[in-house]
Amino acid sequence: MNNPLPLALWLSSRRHPQHIVAFEGPHCFTQADLINDVQRIYSWLKTQPGERWALCFDNSYDFIAALLATLHAGKTPVLPGHSREAQLREQQMHFCGVLSDTPLNLSCRVMNPQVLACKAIEPFEAVTADAGVVFFTSGSTGEPAQIFKTVRALDEEIAWLATLWGDNSGDCRVVGSVSHQHLYGFTFRVMLPMSLGLPGDAAMIHFPEQLAAHSLHPLLFISSPAFLKRLDGNLAAPVFKRVISAAGKLDDDTALQARLWLKTAVSEIYGTTETGVLAWREHSQPAPEWQPFPAVCFTEQEDGWWVESPLIHEGCRPLDDILEFTAQGRFRLSGRRDRIVKIEEKRVSLSEIERRLLALPGINDVAVVPVVRGNRIALGAVVVAPQSDNTHKQHWREALRAWLEPIAIPRYWRIVERIPLNSQSKRSWAQLQELFDETR
């Protein structure tokens, strides 16, 4: 399993027509099915103007077919990471059309591939050497940032993972509780199974009961700390070949409790959308240190840590995290430098929420801070709105729903005359946090 198949060859004759590519419940999708489904989209896309096409799919198999059709047609797939109409309209300058299994009311062309007619099989054009995929991530300014990943880099990332874990994945199926629409899920639920020839689940797992139902085959489970915290020890556990976690830091208590049910230590990945995978660790003991991948180089500079990697399109990038290295070349994470927080393993930009609130009538200023209650993190909004009172909070929440996921909408609100400042005339984050003190 250490010789993954490059993306450009996924539709080649190297795989038998009856090779199982994906499954959904008892139904299996074969290599022949995939070629037919890609052909329908490919033939249509070849006749369409424009280069960039957004992919918005809940079903991972349909997503794979659209991804391959787009790349072989010489187009560039764009992954907005969601299917929210309001935000897609705002991002529409970045793509000329949308392929989606969700009805969308946009001014650009929206096509559901299921309505396209079947076409006779014809040779696909080769995926070009400079082909790639565009992802979106929240930058420190709050504006969605485009991240271009070359197919070459995506293939190399899988080669690293196959070298690390491929020998232990030969006869398993890949299931996941994370979305394929973001880089972590894309890498491990799309690239990894397709490259290694492993059947992947077309549906996403939302509940522990769904995971427990996968009892007929050994599993490679792609998850996150939020889901691992919800595992139910009263359920009968399937057989797990490996469990991988990312999208948020996995604490020791969650890792230990999960291991008792999974019967295997959780392997954790550290990386970002901008950089791809950077390091890994295995929770076979408390507080494991991170081990960088061999080709990744970290450098400390005056403005923080920078990382250099063949997976980064620009060659090197700054990191938002603060790293503490050991003499053996491993490291620990000791905090963040930016205004991005993770809630339930989702990356939330505080600057983005502030920008949305400032656009609402009557709000003169706003500051959003994370609020910790017990072991849970929520958001608190401090609002300067002279003509407003508590009745306006619900209106603000409803307005934000058009743009933000529910988890990014502030749960706690304070209306003040002015945002508190420190002696340097900068926002006093300590005073802002005190506004949400439970003793007040």
pLDDT digits (tens, 9 = 90+) for 339-397: 778 888 788 888 889 989 999 998 999 999 988 887 788 999 999 998 777 778 889 99
Tell me 199's DSSP state: -
Residue 147's DSSP bridge partners are 135
Query: What's the pLDDT band for 1 if we cut at 50, 70, 90?
Result: low
pLDDT tens sequence across 19-38: 999 999 999 999 999 999 99
Q: Which amino acid is at 132?
A: G
Residue at 208: amino acid letter: P
144-150 β-sheet, strand order: 109-111, 97-100, 52-56, 76-79, 132-138, 144-150
Q: What is the pLDDT of residue 138?
A: 55
Rounded Cα gap, residues 9 and 124, in angstroms: 11
| Strand pairing report for 76-79 and 52-56 | parallel
CATH of 7-336, one of 3.40.50.12780, 3.90.1150.10, 3.90.550.10, 3.40.30.10: 3.40.50.12780
Q: Is 385 strand, coil or helix?
A: coil
Closest by Cα among 273, 285, 266, 274 to 247:
273
> Do 135 and 122 meet the contact criterion of CB atoms below 8 Å apart?
no
Alpha carbon distance 155, 168 (integer Å): 19
Residue 114's CB is within 10 A of a number of other CB atoms, namely 9
Q: What is the pLDDT of residues 306-335, one digit of tens each?
A: 999 999 988 899 998 878 899 999 999 876
Identify which of 278, 262, 282 has the alpha carbon closest to the alpha carbon of residue 220: 262
How much is the pLDDT for 203?
97
Start and end residues for every CATH 3.40.50.12780 domain found in the chain: 7-336
Query: Each residue of 351-389: b (16+ CB within 10 Å) or e?
Result: bbbbbbbeebeebeebbbbbbeeeeebebbbbbbbeebe
Beta-ladder partners of 321: 336
423 pLDDT band (50/70/90 cuts)? very low
Most confident segment among 167-171, 194-198, 318-322, 357-361:
194-198
DSSP 33-74: HHHHHHHHHHHHHTTS--SEEEEE-SSHHHHHHHHHHHHHTT
Residue 144's DSSP bridge partners are 138
Mean pLDDT of 142-146: 71
Q: What is the CATH number of domain 340-434?
A: 3.30.300.30
Domain with CATH 3.30.300.30 in the chain: 340-434
Summarize pLDDT for 246-284 with one digit per residue, the tens.
988 899 999 999 999 999 999 999 999 999 999 999 999
Angstrom distance (rounded) from CA 113 to CA 324: 48
Q: Given this model, what pLDDT does residue 336 score?
A: 66
Transcribe 209-248 into DSSP letters.
Answer: HHHHT--SS-EEEEE-HHHHTT--TTSPP--EEEEEE-SS
- Average the pLDDT over 72-81 and give the result: 96
Quick check: 205 pLDDT over 60?
yes
Q: 134-160 in b/e burial notation, b at 16+ Cβ within 10 A? A: bbbbbbeebebeebebebbbbbbbbeb
